[in-house]
């Protein structure tokens, strides 16, 4: 009986060690996948921010003729202000609206709409955004 008890204890110990190893492997896989998901989300935000900046560039910074450095700074400053106030999902939604638009008036309308939405939501104050208001 003593021998059987020792064998049972040994088997239980081995099973416990095996379970602990499997749990460790599973935890490591979870960490890897969450790390990859975070990385993908970060890259998506970067890409969407490029779309936002590209949209105002496509619209020639809303200048008639050649935009002056002050025009460019003003528009990009507003874009960065808005980007700083919205979360990644809102950035993606805005990028979706702007994607494919080439006409300056249409692009500006989307930006003005977004500015109004942020002012109404209390995320921006009137006057925070100068060019895209």
Name the token pair of 132: 């895209």
Delimit the domains of the chain by residue range.
2-120
Nearest 5°: CA angle at 63, between 59 and 69?
105
Q: What pLDDT, on a 0 to 100 scale, did the predictor assign at position 127?
A: 86
Q: Where does the pLDDT of residue 15 fall: very low under 50, low under 70, confident under 90, or very high at 90 and above?
A: very high
What's the pLDDT tens digit per position in 47-87?
999 999 999 999 999 998 899 999 999 999 999 999 999 99
| Percentage of the chain exceeding pLDDT 90 | 86
What dotted CATH number matches 2-120?
1.10.8.840
Report the chain's mean pLDDT, rounded to a whole number: 93
| Percentage of the chain exceeding pLDDT 70 | 100
Which residue in 3, 113, 97 sits closest to 48, CA to CA?
97
Residue ranges of alpha helices (H) inside the chain are: 2-58, 69-85, 88-98, 104-120
């Amino acid at each position: 009986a003593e021998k059987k008890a020792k064998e049972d204890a040994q088997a239980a110990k081995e099973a416990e060690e095996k379970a602990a190893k499997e749990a460790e492997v599973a935890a490591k896989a979870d960490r890897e996948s969450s790390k990859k998901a975070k990385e993908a989300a970060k890259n998506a935000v970067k890409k969407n921010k490029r779309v936002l900046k590209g949209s105002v560039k496509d619209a020639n910074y809303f200048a008639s003729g050649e935009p002056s450095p002050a025009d460019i700074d003003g528009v990009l400053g507003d874009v960065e202000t808005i980007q700083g106030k919205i979360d990644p999902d809102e950035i993606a939604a805005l990028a979706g609206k702007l994607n494919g638009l080439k006409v300056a008036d249409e692009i500006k309308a989307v930006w003005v709409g977004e500015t109004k939405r942020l002012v109404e939501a209390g995320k921006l104050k009137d006057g925070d955004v100068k060019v895209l208001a």
